[in-house]
Amino acid sequence: MHIMLLFFSFIFLLFNSSVSSRPYHPLDPLSPLEISQVRTIIRASSVGKHNLTFQYSGIDEPYKPVLLSWLSDRSNPTPPRRALVIARSLRRTHEIVVDLDKGSIATHRIYQGSGYPMLTVEEKGAAKALPLNHPPFLESVKKRGLDLALVVCEVFTVGWFGEKKTSKRATKIQCFYRGGTENLYVMPLEGITIVVDLDEMKITDYFDRFVVPVPKSTGTDYRASRQKPPFGPRTKPVAVIQPEGSSFEVNGHSIRWTNWNFHLGFDMRAGPVISLASIYDAEKQKFRSVLYKGHLSELFVPYMDPTEEWYYRTFFDAGEFGFGLCAVPLEPLTDCPANAVFMDGYYAGQDGQPVMVKNVFCIFERATGDVAWRHTELGIPGKVVREVRPDVSLVVRMVSTVGNYDNVIDWEFKQSGSIKVGVGLTGILEVKGVEYVHKDQIKEDVYGTLLAENTIGVYHDHFFTYYLDLDVDGSDNSFVKLRMETRRVTDSESPRKSYWTVVGETARTEADARIQLGQDAADLLVTNPNKKTKLGNDIGYRLITGPAAASLLSDDDFPQIRTAYSKHQVWVTPYNRSERWAAGLYTDQSRGEDNLAVWSLRNRGIENKDIVLWHTMGFHHVPCQEEFPVMPAFSGGFELRPSNFFEYNPTLKMMPPGPINWSNCNTST
């Protein structure tokens, strides 16, 4: 078998010699051929002799200085093409770097610390099928008077709650009923605890502690075909028209739109990865760097029910489930407008074979009728001067459905130089079955809102943490807080008593840069202290923060230990290639020993250095009846906005798009 694998590896490398020599961008995600090549190389090695599972595969990015050197002079050697694989074999976690240029394993080590890699689609499928053949569970279903054929189960990670010894790689299973509806999440089977050993793939613990009514299915089906009168008013069709085609170009994974250039990659953990975003400065006649790399680093979703069947529900959607792994194909004309261009994504399945996610990204120009800027001048006698620029932007979108929630992720590029990051939360609330049918019956804390009969929507949080390696016109940057300070007027000639002014503080160490929003008024900027505008101002980009909720859990609570960074919404660290995932590389059952807050305790210098900005958008979610049985999208976002980066408004000389000749529409001024 080993000889055969070596033979096929040799044939594969011969077949793909043209592929390895083809031009590619060093940050391109692994292609299907490369994913297969990685699988062949690893399976032919000693580690591939045993029951090997691929938990993560992605590019092992070149060292930043090497890549920047190559970008500045393409005559330099192309950075080596490597893949990072995290695999499981014989209950051990393997970190393997494969050199795709040489067709061999470059490094291999066995991880010895706490925590496990993210779950695969295949092992989740195997685990959630186990209860359906487990006699005690069959008895529990029968006791509740339910039809086993309509029972569906899902996998829930178990977290960590102070265990001293290394625990088994395990998961818990929650089951639901779909009798009368396809909205299975609103009909949970409460009182049952099922624990599965993922390495052995068997049920190790089973408890059925109590029975409460399964919530009714009436009115819970969200499909349009199942709705009954009376209906709400219907809008007339709305179309997006671009008679001359789109204004952006997609070349592989590189995208060019008006004054923006950037690279778009897909990662099975992060989802969309934006790299090398630069903007053209007409005054300087060149592209200037803004964002070296940006992506979602973690999404922490802790639920606030401490009871036996719920306390462990403190999920890390990127590190445990894979935010990109949970990406769903986007539907034209519904998820994305008619003018959208779609891009597929690929990841390695549990067996190492490439898996395609069709239409994982859509890219489109957005023109919603908003104004980029305008002014009407009425002060000139006998004359009115009016000038308006419509707001047109470019959007990259992905949707990740992690269990019950659908997370809509947008990266929006604006001609003004801003990058806006948006999130939309929709899907199905995670609900708890209870005996109550009216709020007046509730006498104790039920940890949520009564949404329907026998149905509690449990309180919870959403903390979206973004990794933002800003390179503002170069890699050496500083983090500056501009505080608004009230001052008294001492000049007796003024009738004013007070005013506010700006006091700038440059953070010198990581401790200086930890920000709890809302404590004081401040603008937060990443500046380049080595470059100034013609007028002498430090060039920079301002972080306009998103929803500012911070964790309310106690510091000694185990989920909070694992996500200690969630009490500050802004962190700044010096660039470190290994520090990318805010909750640590191995998040499943992690113990808080490797995360953003721990790294920052080193209190490294960050002034005039290559730095990374981390921003957490936080939502405290108190469910309400309007969010049942399906939740209207709840949106938030943040903005990276130029601050003295340009000499003047960069959209001043960008001419508005030409008019569209509508056969049934006349305009006059």
Positions marked active-site: 317, 405
Q: Would you say 587 and 581 are in contact if contact means Cβ atoms under 8 Å apart?
A: yes
Q: State the distance between the two ends of the chain, measured CA to CA, in whole angstroms.
A: 79
Neighbours of 599 (CB within 10 A): 19
Neighbours of 573 (CB within 10 A): 21
Neighbours of 387 (CB within 10 A): 11
Q: Distance between CA 21 and CA 12 in Å, rounded?
A: 14
Query: Which tokens sit at 7?
Result: 């033979």
Q: Distance between CA 38 and CA 58 in Å, rounded?
A: 10
Q: Would you say 272 and 419 are in contact if contact means Cβ atoms under 8 Å apart?
A: no
Report DSSP state, residue 319.
T
Q: Would you say 258 and 279 are in contact if contact means Cβ atoms under 8 Å apart?
A: no
Q: Distance between CA 296 and CA 271 in Å, rounded?
A: 7
Q: Would you say 275 and 295 are in contact if contact means Cβ atoms under 8 Å apart?
A: no
Query: Which tokens sit at 531?
Result: 């470059």
3-class SS letters over 559-596: HHHHCHHHHCCEEEEECCCCCCCCCCCCCECCCCCCCH
Neighbours of 405 (CB within 10 A): 22
Rg (the chain; Cα; Å): 27
- Strand pairing category for 354-366 and 393-402: antiparallel
